[in-house]
Chain A
Amino acid sequence: MNNIKGKQLFSVLISIRMFSIICSTDPSDAEQMTGAALSILFQFLAVIPMLIIYKDKSFSLKRDIIFGKFGKLLYALFFILWGAFSFSNLWEVTKSVYFPIKSSFIAALILSAVCVYTASLGIRAMSRASGFMLGLIVFSLLIMILGAYPKADLANFSPNAHFSGIIKSAVKDFCRSGELVMMFILLEFVPTGKRKSITAFFTGKIILTEIVAVIEITVLGKIMRISDFPFFSAGAFSQPMSIQRADSLYMILFTMLCVMTVTTQIILSTTIIGELFPELKCKTLISAVLMLGASAAINYTGIDLTTVSGIFILLLAVVMPITMVIRRKINENKKTDLHAGASAASRRM
């Protein structure tokens, strides 16, 4: 019942990535573009163990996850943390970009209520909605490109890039790629076409990242240095018509993507919490409250958790799947040895 199609997985992951791009505060430049491309290439290689694991039809993440309950807890914690980041992004954006709302907190509260409702509809409803989100992303980008074309100045692009800067950008990009962890769990719900959708996702991700960077660089130029959220500034400056405000479209996109991202986190954390504590009630609500609480704490303390999220992603999306592959290989070898031993013994008999 909870199965999702490969295409839907692609749409969900692209939507989550797009939300990260929209909320990015870093200015785009040649270093960022190269760094992001390198990071995506690394991520593509890093997910190969995931695909190897899921190639085995008998594999079940629920049963075969490494570190058992502790491993599951780590994943649940990550999804709550990522949901909290999403709420923090919402607060930051509503503070910096002109949003016609009275209070950022109320906005987050309303949005969390919406997310609790959408999460209660289940993973299938969410994945079906992701198709619409993908359409909205493409439409918004087309409008942005249309508006940016007459205002874009290629001279704003400076090809200067230093190796250290590229590496720094690549690490930053990796730390913001929480969708890798989500991908690992969501793959469990995709019966066929895993490899195809993952390849399409990474292709889409690199195209999306570079297109937005090119728009930001060519349209904003040096303004990017003083802009809080380059995507919104680029959207504001690349108006298709002189006095029309296409900003509203990007605000809608941002809000919808925020709902999509938080809903995904709630669904995934609820699923894992359900496995850990089957008797627990109101899991969806508890996840949302935890996310809001964590987000409030992050905002209040002002701590930068980019490194923490990077470590989490590395551990949950790279190290753990690799360990699981190695463990399976060892088990298979053991089985083969045992089988060979048994056959030899029976032959001797």
Chain B
Amino acid sequence: MKIKKLIYMLALLPLLVGCDENQEVRSKSFIKEIGADYSDSQQISLRLFGSDETVSGSGKTLFSAIGNCENKQNKSLFSGHLEVFAVSPENMTDNLMTLLANNRISPSCYVLCVPEDAAGFVEESGGELAELIETNGRSGIIVTKNINAVINDYLEDDGKSAVPAVKDGKLTMAVTGENELIGLLTEEESRGLCWLCGTVEDIYIPLETKDFKTDFYVRKINTRIRAEQSGEKINIIIEIKINGNSQNDSIDTETIKKHTAELVSSLCSRTIAKTVTGMKADLFGIEKSISAARIDIGKNWEETIPYLNFYYKIKIAE
């Protein structure tokens, strides 16, 4: 019996083939950021963890370009901990689909649209892109997006997605379609989108009237998009519950609430005018709310837009 067991164990020994090509951690480099441009081929720049330098390379596909970068330094590259994927809009969809299918890149990594010279932007950014995106996201300036979220948006009927983008060195939101940039949002429109997506928390809103000037502190918000059928029209009700308080106790609370609600609804309406009416994009789940309410007017997204009416319900609680 013992001999039988020994034979089993010995027979298993040659199966330990995984040990022959093992790689030590010190012989690997971990990619932190990728900037990818596309003209005839992929031009990329990589920033590695623990390094101030960037490595550039090119190739017909994204992974052949990464392979080209690997040949320019002495370590094998590992992309599993990628933080930011900065990409030009020309082949954004294709690149993201490649990353999704490949499974070697963390799908949690942030996507950043750089309309011109994404590789150059990564080289000049100083390696703090993830932190920059997170800070702007927290401040209600942009809505952070990972690969999953962007592709999910592309698969909706409108086929468009809002992606953080770089405009004049600042972060804002861009509306992108399949491998194309539809347009960039202004700072206010981008902030409006954050309110519509419910990603605002821990920020101060400056309130300024003839009578007073103060800040309203927003602890957190909860945005809910609801659809109701009203005859031929569909009412989209945007409910935003704000938890926060004024920084000036001497001003009447109701006045502050009224001004805050006006400011928020004005930001939202500007964003809706630009994105929904102008760009025909559904960036904050309008279709999903219509579907959840089981409303079917037998029209596709673009045909539905003229039938939409938007209403705002801003509730402020201290």
Contacts and interface: CB of A to CB of B under 8 A. Distances in A.
B15 A113 contact: yes
A117 B12 contact: yes
A158 B292 contact: yes
Contact of B291 (A109, A158, A221): A158
Contact of B8 (A117, A151, A153, A242): A117
Contact of A222 (B106, B108, B152, B292): B152
A239 B288 contact: no
Contacts of B18: 101
Contacts of B156: 222
A156 B288 contact: yes
B6 interface: no
A225 B106 contact: no
B148 A220 contact: yes
A106 interface: yes
B8 A223 contact: no
Interface in A151-199: 151, 153, 155-160
A237 B108 contact: yes
Interface residues of B, number: 32
Nearest to A228: B101
Interface string A67-99: 000000000000000000000000000000110
B31 to A, nearest CB: 11
A128 B316 CA distance: 57
A110 B8 contact: no
Nearest to A114: B12
Contacts of B120: none
B259 interface: no
Given A110-B15, A155-B292, A223 B103 contact: no
B161 to A, nearest CB: 12
Contacts of A158: 288, 291-292
Main secondary structure of the interface of A (DSSP, over half): helix
A151 B289 CA distance: 18
A45 interface: no
A98 B103 CA distance: 6
B12 A113 contact: yes
A155 B17 contact: no
B291 A237 contact: no
A106 B18 CA distance: 11
A97 B102 CA distance: 8
Interface in B118-164: 130, 146, 148, 151-152, 155-156
B107 interface: yes
Contacts of A101: 18
Contacts of A153: 285
Interface string B245-275: 0000000000000000000000000000000
B83 A242 contact: yes
A243 B147 CA distance: 13
Contact of A243 (B11, B109, B289, B291): B109
A24 interface: no
28 contacts: A97-B103, A98-B103, A101-B18, A109-B15, A113-B11, A114-B12, A117-B8, A117-B12, A151-B148, A155-B288, A155-B289, A158-B288, A159-B294, A160-B291, A160-B294, A221-B152, A221-B155, A223-B148, A223-B152, A236-B103, A237-B107, A237-B146, A239-B106, A242-B83, A242-B130, A243-B82, A245-B106, A247-B103
Interface of A: 97-98, 101-102, 106, 109-110, 113-114, 117, 120, 151, 153, 155-160, 219-223, 225-226, 236-237, 239, 242-243, 245, 247
Given A98-B104, A160-B291, A243-B108, 18 more contacts: A97-B103, A98-B102, A151-B148, A155-B225, A155-B288, A155-B292, A156-B288, A158-B288, A158-B292, A221-B152, A221-B155, A222-B156, A236-B106, A237-B107, A239-B106, A239-B108, A242-B130, A243-B83
